[in-house]
């Protein structure tokens, strides 16, 4: 029995709280740096580069502009150095593509309905400005959310123990090794790589700055980590601290913040929000019902449920992006991973997306800021999640930057997509709660995976049938996929490159802002259950 061995180990684990525990399900793990270690202990022995000197030649070349000059756009498909394989996988099936918002980002191609469009600026057009909305990188789980590890640990601590065999045999010695909330090493890499990519694609726009850029993030530590890793990739490790102004907006109740809108929208919390998890949990009972029976035969001493098995799928995703590999991944079939993905889709759709009556309201504050930037018009009305102190100041909210970068969360990217009325994502209609539709157009792993990024490209392009005239256009890319703008008023005419005349897009956004009733949607009497046929992120009275 495993239990006798594990119980004998308990005093050892208690005596060395910073050591890696050896009992199954333990949440105690090793810590780095070692306790008591400081960076100044032997500082005199390790002079900085400036003190050492002998740097050699340091001239820099012209800023890159690959987004305009390269013959094709780079494609992101790999997740090096993560490993995701196992006997249950078909070689052509990558489970990482089915982890919803826990998937590492990848280039989604024509997922939004424009298969011929490329992230490359169309031939003949000249890029003049970019607006980047950047999700943080891969992180550890939210504190206290995974109860499966606690289930195993309780069995050991209470003396009942458990034994596992077959595909679950690894549980006999498995321990919980994950941190909480902050970025994983892979998550740091994701943001650094994206900063490098942005410099390669958009670096030439730096030549148009007349003062240091202002890039924004929120105060949550993984958000600050993400923004700084992105900036380190964009500017370079030595240069980034002095190359831009880091604006950290407080992420807490009572502080308006368009990058964390739910704190300023009462209806985005409580019963309206939990509808997402209710629908997702209902689906989990369906798609994992037989899986529980299949896995239960390999473990004695603990009783599995659909909730615990779903958390085992969570652990596959979290362990992979945290420690590089997870034995949990091998336990599930292709169909079970597709079911897991759909549970994420249901949660996002009904909690923060098109199926929630606060979906548009949560994202509309960013749209107001976007319109101000595109029109270079100072903001004077602050009636949503916008921040009158910061947005009303041209130092903290400049209107003339060629590059904007705002770091935010996954649910906010989903809400911004609703606020901007990206209707291609809702083309298949409201999400059914008891089966996966064949033509599903709302896929969370395409919209808000780890390190997701929404990019608005402003450019000048030649006018048709004219050799000298040009006009300004805008289009939007989400994880390298060009998003059709046909759901936006005045942009309805289909365009193979996803372009809309900038003036038309601005008019469409202004009308969208006007039609979203932020006060009612966020503070009105919108009760549960609300109509489950919403696709516009608004409850029309």
Domain segments of the chain as ranges: 103-141+182-265+358-523
Check residue 346 and give its pLDDT.
98
Q: Is 82 helix (H, G, I), strand (E, B) or coil?
A: coil
What is the per-residue pLDDT for 91?
Answer: 65
State how far the Cα of 449 lies from the Cα of 410, in Å rounded to an integer: 7
- The pTM for the full model equals 0.92
Task: Note the Cα 505 to chain centre separation in Å.
Answer: 25
Q: Which residues are CB-contacts of 406 (< 8 A; sequence separation ≥ 6)?
A: 132, 133, 134, 215, 216, 217, 259, 366
CB of 102 closer than 8 Å to CB of 345: no
What is the residue-level pLDDT of the chain in tens, covering all 541 positions?
333 333 233 333 333 333 334 467 676 666 777 777 776 778 888 778 888 888 888 777 888 888 888 888 899 999 999 987 643 556 678 999 999 999 999 999 999 999 999 999 999 999 999 999 999 999 999 987 779 999 998 898 887 889 999 999 999 999 999 999 999 999 999 999 999 999 999 999 999 999 999 999 999 999 999 999 999 999 999 999 999 999 999 999 999 999 999 999 999 998 999 999 999 999 999 999 999 999 999 999 999 999 999 999 999 999 999 999 999 999 999 999 999 999 999 999 999 999 999 999 999 999 999 999 999 999 999 999 999 999 999 999 999 999 999 999 999 999 999 999 999 999 999 999 999 999 999 999 999 999 999 999 999 999 876 666 899 999 999 999 999 999 999 999 989 999 999 999 999 999 999 999 999 999 999 887 777 789 999 987 7
Encoding tokens for residue 195?
Answer: 């900063």
pLDDT score recorded for residue 466: 63
Would you give the distance in Å from CA 469 to the centre of its chain? 39
pLDDT at 27: 66
Close Cβ partners of 257 (under 8 Å, ≥ 6 residues apart): 218, 249, 250, 251, 263, 264, 385, 387
* pLDDT score at 48: 81
**Could you give the count of Cα atoms lying within 13 Å of 347 in the half-sphere of its Cβ?**
19
Query: Rounded to a whole number, what is the largest CA-CA distance in the chain?
Result: 84
Q: Which CATH class is domain 103-141+182-265+358-523?
A: alpha beta
- Rounded Cα distance between 431 and 535, Å, is 9
Among 136, 409, 446, 453, which one carries the catalytic annotation? 136
Respond yes or no: is residue 453 known to be catalytic.
Answer: no
The alpha carbon of residue 272 and the mean position of all alpha carbons in its chain are separated, in whole angstroms, by 22
Q: Report the pLDDT value the prediction gives residue 1, as an integer from 0 to 100.
A: 35
Rounded CA-CA distance 133/81 in Å is 25
Token couple for 522? 């966020």
């Amino acid at each position: 029995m495993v239990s006798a061995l594990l119980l004998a180990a308990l005093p050892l684990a208690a005596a060395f709280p910073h050591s890696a525990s050896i009992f199954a399900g333990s949440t105690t793990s090793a810590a780095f740096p070692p306790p008591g270690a400081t960076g100044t202990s032997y500082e005199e022995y390790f002079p900085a580069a400036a003190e050492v000197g002998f740097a050699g030649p340091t001239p820099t070349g012209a800023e890159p502009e690959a987004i305009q000059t390269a013959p094709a756009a780079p494609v992101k498909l790999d997740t090096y150095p993560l490993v995701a394989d196992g006997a249950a996988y078909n070689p052509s099936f990558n489970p990482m593509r089915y982890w919803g918002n826990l998937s590492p980002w990848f280039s989604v191609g024509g997922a939004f309905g424009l298969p011929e469009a490329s992230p490359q600026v169309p031939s003949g057009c000249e890029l003049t400005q970019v607006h980047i909305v950047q999700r943080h990188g891969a992180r550890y789980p939210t504190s206290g959310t995974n109860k499966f590890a606690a289930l195993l640990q309780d069995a050991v601590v209470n003396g009942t123990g458990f034994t596992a065999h077959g595909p679950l045999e690894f549980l006999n010695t498995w321990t919980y090794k994950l941190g909480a909330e902050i970025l994983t090493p892979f998550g740091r890499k994701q943001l650094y790589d994206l900063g490098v990519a942005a410099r390669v694609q958009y670096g030439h726009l730096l030549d148009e700055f007349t003062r240091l850029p202002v890039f924004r993030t929120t105060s949550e530590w993984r958000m600050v980590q993400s923004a700084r890793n992105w900036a380190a990739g964009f500017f370079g490790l030595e240069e980034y601290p002095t190359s831009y102004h880091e604006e950290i907006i407080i992420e807490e109740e009572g502080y308006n913040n368009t990058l964390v809108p739910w704190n300023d929208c009462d209806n985005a919390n409580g019963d309206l929000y939990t509808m997402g998890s209710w629908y997702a949990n209902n689906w989990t009972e369906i798609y994992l019902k037989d899986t529980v029976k299949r896995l239960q035969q390999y473990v004695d001493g603990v009783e599995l449920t659909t909730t615990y098995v779903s958390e085992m799928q969570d652990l596959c995703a979290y362990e992979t992006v945290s420690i590089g590999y997870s034995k949990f991944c091998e336990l599930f079939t292709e169909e079970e991973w597709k079911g897991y993905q759909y549970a994420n889709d249901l949660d996002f759709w009904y909690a923060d997306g098109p199926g929630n009556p606060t979906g548009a309201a949560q994202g509309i504050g960013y749209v107001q800021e976007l319109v101000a930037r595109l029109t270079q018009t100072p903001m004077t009305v602050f009636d949503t999640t916008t921040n009158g102190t910061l947005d009303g100041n041209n130092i903290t909210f400049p209107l003339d930057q060629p590059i904007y970068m705002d770091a935010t969360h996954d649910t906010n990217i989903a809400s911004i997509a609703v606020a901007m009325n990206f209707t291609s994502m809702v083309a298949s209609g409201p999400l059914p709660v008891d089966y996966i539709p064949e033509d599903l157009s709302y896929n969370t792993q395409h919209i808000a995976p780890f390190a997701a990024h929404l990019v608005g490209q402003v450019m000048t392009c030649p006018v048709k049938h004219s050799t000298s005239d040009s006009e300004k256009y805008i289009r939007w890319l989400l994880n390298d996929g060009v998003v059709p703008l046909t759901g936006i008023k005045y942009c309805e005419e289909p365009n193979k490159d996803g372009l809309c005349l900038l003036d038309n897009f601005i008019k469409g956004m202004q009308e969208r802002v006007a039609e979203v009733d932020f006060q009612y949607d966020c503070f009105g009497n919108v009760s549960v259950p609300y109509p489950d046929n919403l696709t516009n992120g608004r409850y029309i009275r």
